[in-house]
Amino acid sequence: MLRIYEEQLEVAAVPGHRGLLNHMAEAVRQHLPRRLLPVRFTVSETSASAYKCELGVIEGLNDEQLEHSCSIFDFTPRVTENNTQFNVVLLVPTGIGCEIGGHAGDANPVARLLATGCDTLITHPNVVNASDINDLPENGLYVEGSVISRLLMGVSGLQPVRANRVLAIIDEHPNATFTSAAINSVSAGRASYGLRCPAVVRLNPPVYLKSVYAPSGRAVGVVERLEGLVAVLEEFRGQYDAVALSTQIEVPFNYHTDYYTARGDMINPWGGIEALFTHTISSLYDIPAAHAPMLESMEVANIDLGPVDPRMAAEDISNAFFMCVLKGLQRSPRIVKDIRNGNRPGVLTAADVSCLVIPDNCIGLPTLAALEQGIPVIAVRENRNIMRNDLSSLPWAEGQLYIVDNYLEAAGVMLALRQGVDPTTVRRPLLETLQVQR
């Protein structure tokens, strides 16, 4: 039986946090039985003695699937940096309670701001998905989170496309109202912006997703009954370029009111399991994937929440939550695995990434990859979250880490880097020029 879930492990700290990527890879290899495949990795807390890590894994893969699966820790260092363009990766990790982007597409304004300062903005569904709204900038690439990790790790590239064939796979809901809402979203996309969808597959029995919270407080979960979904992906192979998923997520009924009335003090319980789910699909099939939750019942649909926190309002005005996924996947770039020769015209690789923008305190594969690749990182304090890591303690090269107060300042640092201006020289006081006598 195929099953996706999260495990916790504690890894001993290394002096100066040096060689951290290899250290984590070896620790995970020793921790996991051979037949478990890691699909997501996070460091939730760093201390002087240990790293508390949380690891999403899939079990139940057959020998052929395991043989053809790559490790999320595979790493290829970039040998050059392409300075003909300035391309930025913007990440807001899912399920960690980010003040900005931790709710319902409420980092869309950030994406649009930062996009003005670069040639290409590479971001992921959690940043721009807002139920019926997806305001991805014209120079933005909508990329599943695990694929961004592979890009930064130097093992995959991104090839922009004109349009994808988006296969929609949805729950056969006991209440036909919700099945129809998902189908009507696809039809609306076809009629209003030219979406190409080869089919809407109604899955019965559906995949089972359940949201839970990890010991760190992160929203994670369990995915089971994947066999039907895998069969569909195999049956339609060659007929689609991306897959849009709409399924129910089991949560306690009170979450549907508690989350909105908490006004940001409760971590969104749905996003974490969605990320774990789509990481797995993208990893196994090398395709763009994104997920939208399907309402469980009319009782949930009829809850009158009144005016809600603006960051959550996009969810309150939708009953399908699917349009943002369909819109994003329409032009999500193709995943290119064979980039060893580095001569694939039009393919973005780690060599083309100019900087990474993240919330402060976040350490996952993208942060560790940027550290090793020499990619500048801008960490934003105002985007508070529950991660407990001091980024400044990592062994960055001089001028590689910039910790800023907010995204307005992040945009300024980006512009300085783009123009080749040392960001410290536009601040005061200006430090004395270093003099060394020999």
What's residue 70's pLDDT?
86
Least Cα distance to 284 among 61, 112, 115 occurs for: 61
- The pLDDT tens digits of the residues spanning 226-281 come to 999 999 999 999 999 999 999 999 999 999 999 999 988 999 999 999 999 999 99
Q: How far apart are CA 185 and CA 183, in angstroms?
A: 5
What's residue 34's pLDDT?
81
- Residue 393 burial by Cβ neighbours in a 10 Å radius (0-12, 13-18, 19+): exposed
How far from the centroid of its chain's Cα atoms is residue 207's Cα?
21
Q: How far apart are CA 378 and CA 399, in angstroms?
A: 10
- The pLDDT tens digits of the residues spanning 277-323 come to 999 999 999 999 999 999 999 999 999 999 999 999 999 999 999 99
Look up residue 63 and give its amino acid.
D
What's residue 341's pLDDT?
57
Least confident of 119-123, 329-333, 343-347, 416-420: 343-347
Q: How many residues are given for the chain?
A: 438
**Mean pLDDT value across residues 62-80:** 89
- The pLDDT tens digits of the residues spanning 156-183 come to 999 999 999 999 999 999 999 999 999 9
Respond yes or no on whether the N-terminal peptide bond of residue 93 is cis (omega within 30° of 0).
Answer: no
What's residue 323's pLDDT?
98
Residues β-bridged to residue 170: 202, 246
- The pLDDT tens digits of the residues spanning 397-407 come to 999 999 999 99
Q: How many Cβ atoms are within 10 Å of 373's Cβ, its own excluded? A: 20
What's residue 66's pLDDT?
82
Query: Buried b vs exposed e over 47-63: b needs ≥16 C-beta within 10 Å?
Result: eeeebbbbbbbbeebee
The pTM is what?
0.97
Least Cα distance to 308 among 169, 126, 132, 103 occurs for: 103
Q: How many Cβ atoms are within 10 Å of 84's Cβ, its own excluded? A: 6
pLDDT at residue 333 tops 70: yes
Confidence of residue 198 (pLDDT cuts 50, 70, 90): very high
What's residue 342's pLDDT?
58
Mean model confidence pLDDT for the chain: 96
Token output for 249:
């997520």
How far from the centroid of its chain's Cα atoms is residue 175's Cα?
31
**Mean pLDDT value across residues 86-111:** 97
Confidence of residue 339 (pLDDT cuts 50, 70, 90): confident
Confidence of residue 147 (pLDDT cuts 50, 70, 90): very high
* 208-213 and 219-224 beta bridge pairing: antiparallel
What's residue 109's pLDDT?
98
Confidence of residue 343 (pLDDT cuts 50, 70, 90): low
